[in-house]
Every structure is written in C-alpha cells, then in structure tokens.
Amino acid sequence: MRWTGLALLSALLTSSALVGCSSSEPARESKAPAREKRAEAPVAPAPRNAGGPDDPGGGGGGAAGGYEEIMRRLEEELKLSEQERKSLAEGYARSGDKSFQELNFEKARDEFQRAVDLAPGNTEYRQKLDRTRQQLSEHVPGYDRAVMEALTDRLLARKEQARIEIQDHLARGNRAVNDREYQLAIDEYTAVIEQIQWFPYHLDLEAVKGEAEVGLRRARELKKEADRARSLETVKNAKAESEVKRTEDRARRAEAIGKLFNEAQEEFERERFGISEALCDKVLQLDPNNDDAADLKEIAVMARHKQADKRILESLKKEWKWQFIKMDEKSIAQSRVVEFPDAEIWVEDVQKRIPRGIAKAERRISESERKTYAAMSSIKISLNFTDTPLPEVVSFMQEVTQLNIMIDRDVQGRRAGVRPGAGPDPEDGGPGVSRRRRRRRDHVEGSHAEGNGAGAVRRAGPDDQDHELQGA
C-alpha cells in the first residue's frame, strides 16, 4: 500500500511538471466567494480551470479527470505516515503556487488550505494562504463587500440580541415594581444600565437607559419606604406581643394571688396563723404593693401572738392546780407510826450488811485531791441573798475564794427550761410562783477548797431538795 501511494505521488509530480506553457490562462471567475470550507482530508474537491498533463490546450477534460483520480486515490489511502502527509502537503503547496501564478486565487486558496490541514505547524503554508486570501479580496469583485456584509450581519444580530435582552430586563424590572419586589426591580434596572453602558458597540437606547434610571430611583425609594414600613410593623407587632404577654402574666399572677388568699383564709379559720402569715408573704412576693396582703399578714401576726399568750396562760393554770395538789398531799397526816432503833444498833446492822453485786475497787486518790476534799468538807460560806441569780452568787464566790468555779450545763438547762405541762420556771419570778419556792433562794450553802482549782456549789432549800453544781 505504501508503494502504491508513492507511485501515485510520482505520477502526480510528473503530471504537474508536464503542465507548462502549453496550458492556456484560466478564465477568472467573478462570482462572489461563498463561505470558505476546509477540505476534509484525504478527500479533496476537483480543481477548476487546471490543465492536466493530457490537456495541451489548457483545461481539457481528460487531463482534469486524470488529475482528480490521482488525488482521490492518493487521499483515500487508509492511513498515511507522517512522511507521506508531509509529501502530500508539499504537493498541495506546489499546486497552490502554480495556481497563484496563474492568478487563480480561489484554487490556490483551496490548495494552500489543504496543505495547512496536513501540516498545521508549517508557517510557510499559512503565510501563503493569508497572502492568497488578501489577493483574492483585492482582485475578486465583491469579495470585500461580501465579507463586510457578513460582519455587518453578525454585528446587527448581536446588537439585536442585546437590545432584546435589555428590553427583557426592563420589562422584568417594571413587573417587579408592580409586584412590590423592589430589590428584584433594582437588580433588573441596574442590568439594563450596565449592558447599555458597557456594550462594545453603540446602541441607540438612550431612552431605554433613561427609563431604567428613573425606574431604578423609584424602586430604591419604594424599597426604602417598604423597609421603613416593615420595620414599624415589626416594632408594632413586638409591642403587641409584649402587651399580650404582660396581660397573660398579670392574669396568671392574679389567679395565683387569689388562690393564695383563699388558702390563707382557710388556714386562718383553722387558727393556723403561722401558715396564714407565710401565705401572705408569698402574695407580697408576687405583688409587693398589695396592701390587702400586708394588712392580712399583720392580723395573722397579732393572732399568732395572742394564741401564744393563751397557751402560756393555760400552762400557768395547770401549774397553779399542780401546786395546790402538792399542798393537799402534804397537809394529810401520816396514819402509820414509824419506829426507828437506837443509833448503835442501826450502825451495827448497817455494817453487817453484805454488799450486792460486784464490789467496786477502792479508788485511790492523790494527796492534792485528798486535801481538796478535806477543805471542801471543812470550809463553809454562808450566803444570804434575796432574789439574786445563781450566776451572780457564783461570781461573788470566785472573787472571795479565788477559785475557778463553773456552773454545770445541765443546771443551766434546768433553770432555763420549763417542765412539761407547766409554765415558766417558778424560780424566774414569774406569775404563779409560790412564796415557798421563792424562799429557796434565801439560803445558799457553798463549799469550796483551794487545791487544783476544784470547787463545788450546793444550793438547798427548806424542803431539803438540793441541787449540786460542780465545776473545775
């Protein structure tokens, strides 16, 4: 196949060499060139007005048919190698040169175009193609006009398309204003102005541009007014929602206050004045300026105090009755006679008794403790005070004896507390205290001794009910 191509190429070159002065000058064609079409390799159209090797008269049909057949067979090879494509491009270039010399510029243009298609990187072929096109525009009547008409048609089409787009933007802007879509209208009017301003060719659309500018200003003003109205509406809605919320809060608070008042009334009727007072406090927490709650709280406090005083009175009444019962018991004479043995027999009998249980080991005391106990059992201080509290008596003893004397906490608690079912401590000098109990304070017998800072205080009354206080 490759050898067949080379043979055809040799035949082509031979036929081109045989065509010389015997060929006549081809007739020029004055018709306007149509749109150039590149030849699709490897098939090429038959050249016009070219004399073949068998056409000595210039343009014989036999020579032209032989040339076309050779070219067709050459271009119909299945696949040409790079060298073959190069050789074929050279053949087209030489044929184009020949046609150019014959002033057959259309044929020369086609030949150079085929050469460029086969060898795109060859600048020489491109230069020849450009030069041929230039000559074609100068020597072919109507070529420049046809080109200009084509360019004019494309420009007019582009301007018409731009005009249609601008009119569409303007119409969409007007519709957006009517629909109160002011931001969309602003965008559409802006597109109209920018396209007219930056279009590369002059467009007689000044009236359209002016209309777009007027619409743009109007759309911006309307948008500003709409934004202001929307803002006012938002504020109005927020105020309305806030007012509704405040109304609901007031209603809920009023409902809660009414419920608390009802509960306070029920507790007051049950004489549970403390709970009623607490409920009034809750009402004041919800409504600090509620005068009714403040008045009811004051009444509940007074009732609670009166109730406490009433309980104290009842307690004192019970204490009064208890004292009279004790007095009655003491006034009853003993019916049985009790006889005691002589002292010697009593002591002897006691000494003979055997202690029960586990005998306790004798506690060994130190010499200082022994001296202290001896001193406490031998030294006595008689104190005669009337209605003097025990702490003041103990303080006086500390100053006189220089001892550290402390009052036991149990004693303090018994003095501060109230016996169940009784009123205040009778020794505090409250109402209902008998003269007999007051006389218990008239005689205080204390014992003290120096040594290790130990001391004891004993308080006794006529009924021999002693209370001993110890301290260290």
pLDDT digits (tens, 9 = 90+) for 222-237: 999 999 998 998 898 8
> Residue 178, exposed/middle/buried by CB under 10 A (0-12, 13-18, 19+)?
exposed
User: 82-101 vs 2-18: helix axis angle to the nearest 10?
Assistant: 10
Q: Which residue has the higher pLDDT, 290 or 84?
A: 290
Q: Exposure string (b/e) for 371-395, b if CB count within 10 Å is 16 or more?
A: ebeeebeeeeeebeeeeeebeebbe
- Residue 45: asked if its preceding bond is cis (omega within 30°), the reply is no
Q: What pLDDT was estimated at residue 93?
A: 92
Residue 279 near residue 264 (C-beta atoms within 8 A): yes
For the ranges 154-168, 248-262, 365-379, 455-469, the lowest mean pLDDT is seen at 455-469
Least confident interval from 21-25, 339-343, 367-371, 386-390: 21-25
pLDDT digits 0-9 by tens, 265-314: 888 888 888 898 899 999 999 888 888 888 888 888 988 888 888 888 78
- Strand pairing partners for 448? 455
- Across the range 353-365, mean pLDDT stands at 63
Q: Which residue in this structure is represented by tokens 């787009």?
A: 165
* Residue 68 CA neighbour count, 13 Å, CB half: 15
Longest dimension (CA), the chain: 196
Helix (H) or strand (E) holding 468: strand 467-471
pLDDT tens track for 102-128? 888 888 889 999 999 888 888 898 889
Q: Model confidence over 95-105: pLDDT tens digits?
A: 999 888 888 88
> 230 burial class (0-12, 13-18, 19+ CB within 10 angstroms)?
exposed
Task: Tokens 């005083």: give the residue.
Answer: 309
Is the model's pLDDT at 195 over the cut of 80?
Answer: yes
Show the tokens assigned to 374.
């001896």
Name the band, by pLDDT with cuts 50, 70 and 90, for residue 61.
very low
Q: Does the structure show a pLDDT above 70 at 323?
A: yes
What is residue 462's DSSP assignment? T
Domain 155-269, second-level architecture:
Alpha Horseshoe (1.25)
As a whole number, mean pLDDT of residues 248-259 equals 90
pLDDT computed for residue 447 by the predictor: 37
pLDDT score at 201: 65
Of the spans 72-86, 300-314, 374-388, which averages the highest pLDDT?
A: 300-314
Sheet holding 455-459, edge to edge: 380-383, 444-448, 455-459, 467-471
pLDDT for res 404 = 66
The pLDDT-based confidence of 322 (bands split at 50, 70, 90) is confident
Alpha helix segments (H runs only) across 140-180: 143-178
> What is the reported pLDDT for 175?
92
Mean pLDDT, the chain, rounded, equals: 70
On the CB side of 153, CA atoms within 13 Å amount to 6
Residue 294: which of 251, 264, 324, 319 has the closest Cα?
264
Please give the pLDDT value at position 348.
Answer: 80
Share of the chain above pLDDT 70, in %: 58
Digit-coded pLDDT (tens) for 198-222: 776 666 778 888 888 998 999 999 9
Whole-angstrom distance, CA of residue 124 vs CA of residue 90: 11
What is the reported pLDDT for 31?
36
Q: Average pLDDT of 332-349? A: 71
Give φ, ψ of 77 to 5 degrees.
-65, 145
What pLDDT does 471 receive? 36
- Give start and end residues of each alpha helix (H) in 2-81: 2-18, 61-75
| CA gap 116, 114 in Å, rounded | 5
85: pLDDT strictly greater than 90? no
Cα dihedral across residues 391, 396, 399, 404: positive or negative: negative
Instruction: Tell me what pLDDT residue 54 has.
Output: 38
Q: What SS3 state is found at 428?
A: helix
Per-residue pLDDT averaged across 317-333, rounded?
A: 73
Q: Which pLDDT score is estimated for 387? A: 75
Pick the CATH number of 2-20+39-144 from 1.25.40, 1.20.140, 1.20.120, 1.10.8: 1.25.40
The residue among 130 and 321 whose pLDDT is bigger is 130
Task: State how far the Cα of 329 lies from the Cα of 333, in Å rounded to an integer.
Answer: 9
428-465 pLDDT per residue, tens: 444 444 444 444 344 333 333 333 334 444 443 444 43
**Contacts of residue 297, Cβ cutoff 8 Å, sequence gap at least 6:** 277, 280, 281, 284
Which CB contacts under 8 angstroms, 24+ apart, belong to 64-70?
Answer: 66/15, 67/12, 67/15, 70/8, 70/11, 70/12, 70/15
What's the pLDDT score for residue 80?
54
Query: According to the model, what pLDDT value does residue 391 have?
Result: 80
Distance CA 351, CA 349 (A): 5
Which amino acid, 150? A
Residues of the chain with CATH 1.25.40: 2-20+39-144, 155-269
Q: What is the pLDDT of residues 11-25, one digit of tens each?
A: 454 444 443 333 333
